[in-house]
Amino acid sequence: MSSLGKRIKTLRTQHNLKQSDIADLISVTLRQVQRYEKDESDMPLSKLLILADYFNVTLDYLVGRSDQ
C-alpha cells in the first residue's frame, strides 16, 4: 500500500505539476509540501479534501486505503 506522500507525488507528477503548484493550491509553503511528500508531516483533512477534489480521487485513495 502506498503512503499519502507517495500518492501526492505520483499524482503531482502525472499532472506535470511542481511542488510549488501544490503549495499554492492548498495554501501552504513549498517546504510543507516537501514534508507531506516525504511523510514527515500529517496533512489536515481540509487540505486532503482540496487535493482529492482537484485530482478527482477519493480520500481513501489519497491515504492509501484503496487503489481505485
What are the pLDDT digits (tens) for 29-49? 999 999 999 999 999 999 999
- Give me the pLDDT at residue 11, please: 97
Does residue 27 form part of some domain? yes
Domain count, the chain: 1
Q: What percent of the chain has pLDDT over 70?
A: 99
Does residue 23 form part of some domain? yes
Residue 39 contacts residue 7 (beta carbons within 8 Å):
no
| The model's pTM | 0.91
- Give me the pLDDT at residue 13, please: 97
Indicate the residue type of 68: Q
To which residue does cell 487540505 refer? 47
Does residue 68 form part of some domain? no
Does residue 51 form part of some domain? yes
Q: What is the CATH number of the domain that holds 46?
A: 1.10.260.40
- Give me the pLDDT at residue 1, please: 60
Residues 14-43, mean pLDDT to the nearest whole number = 97
Q: State which residues form the domain around 28.
A: 4-56
| Cα distances (Å, whole numbers) of residue 54 to 22, 32, 40 | 10, 18, 23
